[in-house]
């Protein structure tokens, strides 16, 4: 009888050890992506920034994340009061092309600057990238100066607030000089 109980305990122990354990489900949530943070990473020499292709992929992973992560992403990217988004696809650029434009400006460094002046004076950038342009416009009298990095940061802010459906575009007034309007838009 004792031998029978020991045999039963041994069998139960073997079955319990062989039974698969139910692991807690794991989910990998995409980290909220910010185009303006990505631009800051490009500008910062101590950070290895994502390539434009990786940035677009990170953006799509972020928007395809779970609902709770999406809520966090929205909270992390509070819309700037100085940003206005285009709603017409005729004005909104393809996000891949906009990323290339902003990346190329950020990579130019702070030593590259653009001067434009007079009310309505402007400078159009990213002419070598089809389908997108970043335009800096003077909103007041007098000459304005902006570095490529400052304009790239403005493009990143526009993209944070105005990117959906694979397109982006809008305008922003930046803190470095509120009398400069930065437009990121589709080039026809």
126-147 pLDDT, tens digit each: 999 999 999 999 999 989 999 9
- Residues in contact with 120: Cβ distance below 8 Å, sequence separation at least 6, in sequence order: 137, 138
Query: What is this structure's pTM?
Result: 0.76
Q: Which two tokens stand for residue 53?
A: 């292709």
In the predicted model, is pLDDT for residue 124 greater than 60? yes
Ramachandran class of 125: left when φ > 0, alpha when ψ lies in -120 to 50, beta otherwise: beta
| Three-state DSSP state, 137 | strand
pLDDT at residue 65, as a whole number? 76
CA 81/CA 173 separation, integer angstroms: 9
Is 43 within 8 Å of 106 (Cβ atoms)?
yes
Higher pLDDT, 79 or 148: 148
The alpha carbon dihedral of 166, 172, 175, 176 has a sign of positive
pLDDT at residue 79, as a whole number? 52
Higher pLDDT, 76 or 46: 46
Q: Which of 113-122, 164-173, 179-188 has the lowest mean pLDDT?
A: 113-122
State the pairing for strand pair 83-85/170-174.
antiparallel
In the predicted model, is pLDDT for residue 72 greater than 90? no
In the predicted model, is pLDDT for residue 67 greater than 60? no
Q: Tell me the pLDDT band of 118, cut-offs 50, 70 and 90.
A: confident
pLDDT at residue 77, as a whole number? 47
State the pairing for strand pair 93-94/167-168.
antiparallel
Angle at 147 between CA 142 and CA 150, to 5 degrees: 105
Q: Tell me the pLDDT band of 26, cut-offs 50, 70 and 90.
A: very low
Is 33 within 8 Å of 59 (Cβ atoms)?
yes
In the predicted model, is pLDDT for residue 54 greater than 70? yes
Q: Which two tokens stand for residue 72?
A: 């966090």
pLDDT at residue 30, as a whole number? 52
Is 115 within 8 Å of 72 (Cβ atoms)?
no
CA 100/CA 46 separation, integer angstroms: 21
Is 105 within 8 Å of 38 (Cβ atoms)?
no
Q: Which two tokens stand for residue 156?
A: 């990143």
pLDDT at residue 75, as a whole number? 42
pLDDT in tens, 100-116: 999 999 999 899 999 98
């Amino acid at each position: 009888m004792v031998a029978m109980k020991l045999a039963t305990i041994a069998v139960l122990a073997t079955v319990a050890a062989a039974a698969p354990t139910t692991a807690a489900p794991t989910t990998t949530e995409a980290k909220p992506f910010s185009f303006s943070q990505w631009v800051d990473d490009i500008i910062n020499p101590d950070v290895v920034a994502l390539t434009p292709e990786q940035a677009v992929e990170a953006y799509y992973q972020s928007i395809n994340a779970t609902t709770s992560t999406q809520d966090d992403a929205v909270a992390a990217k509070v819309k700037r009061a100085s940003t206005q988004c285009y709603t017409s696809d005729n004005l909104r650029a393809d996000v891949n092309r906009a990323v290339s434009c902003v990346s190329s400006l950020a990579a130019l460094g702070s030593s590259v600057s653009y001067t434009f002046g007079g009310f309505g004076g402007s400078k159009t950038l990213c002419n070598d990238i089809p389908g997108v342009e970043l335009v800096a416009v003077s909103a007041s009298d007098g000459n304005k100066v902006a570095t490529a990095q400052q304009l790239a940061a403005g493009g990143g802010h526009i993209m944070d607030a105005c990117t959906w459906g694979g397109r982006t575009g809008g305008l922003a007034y930046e803190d470095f000089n509120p009398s400069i309007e930065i437009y990121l838009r589709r080039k026809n």
